[in-house]
Amino acid sequence: MSIQSSITEFRDLAKKKSYTIAKINWWLLKYYDLYKYCKDNWNTCSCFRELPCSHTMGSEENKFVDFYKSLEKVADLHKKEPYFLEQLQLFEKVRDDPSALIKWLLHNEKLGAEDFLIFWIEWMEEEDLVNPGINFFPNIEVKILVKEFESTIQFMEVFNELYWTSDIVKER
């Protein structure tokens, strides 16, 4: 399998200029061996032996590795969807109890204020699409329907409103 054919196949998976997580996961599984090969061999033609050089940094193999890892990150972030749905349900139970609400915020602080902060700030530039900014190859712009991250987005809306703009965190 060539890198170019794998990229062409990925581009062809887009439906109305967006991708589903299921299709991304399928592609990641299908091209895992190519990823491993590229990861192990991207630097073989380096002018400096083990050290990267300008020839290897811009190689198709290196771009493929970065592309694959970026898609893998999207898939990994999506795995939190069930957790965020659970936390939204818990939020509904504790929303009127200030001490329980503070505990809920503190319990989710690392995810909301650190791990998913970039998701919220950088990826949410369109109303109906999530754009993780993956653009290593021409003619491929990875965008995912918002519904794929519905619980994540709802969680981040609630978390951000409480954590960054309300006085409830200051009261702890």
CA-CA distance, 73 to 43, in Å (whole number)?
Answer: 23
Q: Tell me the average confidence (pLDDT) per consecutive run of 10 residues in the chain, 172 residues long.
A: 91 89 97 90 55 59 90 94 97 93 93 83 73 84 90 92 76 54
Burial class (CB in 10 A: 0-12, 13-18, 19+), 128: exposed
Q: How many CB atoms lie within 10 A of CB 38?
A: 22
Q: How many CB atoms lie within 10 A of CB 171?
A: 10
Contact 115, 84 (CB under 8 A): no
pLDDT of the residue at 171: 55
CA-CA distance, 97 to 104, in Å (whole number)?
Answer: 10
pLDDT of the residue at 117: 81
> Phi, psi (5° rounding) for residue 114?
-130, -70
Contact 65, 134 (CB under 8 A): no
pLDDT of the residue at 27: 97
Burial class (CB in 10 A: 0-12, 13-18, 19+), 14: middle
pLDDT of the residue at 26: 97
pLDDT of the residue at 121: 65
Domain boundaries, the chain: 3-165
